[in-house]
Structure 1
Amino acid sequence: MTLTIADPVRHTVQQVLSWFAQGFEQATQSDMLAGLSDAEVEALADDCGISAHQLLALVKAGPHAADEMPAMMRALNIDPAEVEYRLRRVFRDMQITCAQCSSKDTCRQHLQQGKAEQTFIDYCGNADTLNALWANPDLLIEA
């Protein structure tokens, strides 16, 4: 998928995630944000299409805080790339929900055991959205 100029939010989010993923040896992500003014944090959050509170929570959670989400989507035969392409805001909101989830251990364990498809509804904050996506044949992974 090629990033277009008409997609500034996605580009900004990718830049921020890339920035954080590369890591900084001398400072933590929280320290980096702490060095910004409130106005700069607000502007960065606005560029990402989220609130400053959400941005701070995501930084605190870390750059891999939503890694389980695409794995869960694949476990449900949902194509994460297709969802991201067609439903960018839904995808982003799901990432935020996943990043702030308190059921990570259960999720990882069930994904590893291959039983997430049967159990995600019990603990996943994205369960309703995942069920809606799962019902859309255009978003499923082609066999």
Structure 2
Amino acid sequence: MASNGDLIWVKAASGWRDHPFPAAALRGASTKGVRVMTTLQDLRRTISRYVDGGRKRRQLRRELAQLAAMGSLDAVLSDVGLARSQVEPLIAGCTGSRELMDQMLARLGIDPAQLPIEVLRDMTWTCTTCPDKRKCRVWLAEAEGTDFHSFCPNAAQLDQALQNQHQVGA
């Protein structure tokens, strides 16, 4: 038995099932079961993110191959400001990068609509090619983390955006 908010997870022969259950009934319940379920939920999210990422990468590869077959790939890449040498890093880091950056901006109170498009594009590229998105996800999951400087390659741009936004608001 484990809990998640107002749900209680019950181990049945066919696997874990969630059932509505009053939170008060969980008082005195084993925290070991809750810890195990949290770990299992984290594992499930990680596997799901990995599978979804693989799907997105395969879809992007197919679309780029179709553009190359039609002879349009270079024109499309030029339109979005990319070179062929940037395609593989783009594919490798495409999954979840924009979502992480959007969450980071929201957490810091930065309005992306107020950023110059070039800055936003550069920050998105930096996030896409970041080798350590795990630290970002952990930081975003924390309730009160404020120091992103130790891991984020966009730290200087984020500081500049915060400074510019405070100057506009003053």
Question: Could you state the TM-score of these two structures normalised by the residue count of structure 2?
Answer: 0.56
Report the CA distance shift for 1:110/1:69 in structure 2 as closer, same or farther (over 3 A).
same
Match of 2:117 in 1: 88
1:126 matched to 2:126? The reply is no
Match of 2:65 in 1: 34
Tell me how far 1:105 sits from its aligned partner.
0.9
1:101 matched to 2:130? The reply is yes
Asked if the contact 1:58–1:100 (Cα under 8 Å) also holds between the matched residues in 2, the reply is yes
Tell me how far 1:51 sits from its aligned partner.
2.1
2:91 aligned to which of 55, 59, 76? 59
**How many residues in Structure 1 have an aligned counterpart in Structure 2?**
113
Per chain length, whose mean CA-contact separation is higher, i.e. which structure has more relative contact order (CA < 8 Å, sep 6+)? Answer: 1
Q: Distance in 2 between matches of 1:59 and 1:79?
A: 27
From the CA coordinates, give the structure whose radius of gyration is larger.
2
Percent identical residues: 28
Question: Could you state the TM-score of these two structures normalised by the residue count of structure 1?
Answer: 0.65
Report the CA distance shift for 1:54/1:100 in structure 2 as closer, same or farther (over 3 A).
same
Report the CA distance shift for 1:33/1:81 in structure 2 as closer, same or farther (over 3 A).
same
Give me the CA root mean square deviation.
2.7
Which ranges in structure 1 are unaligned for 5 or more consecutive residues? 1-23
Q: Distance in 2 between matches of 1:114 and 1:82?
A: 26
1:68 matched to 2:117? The reply is no
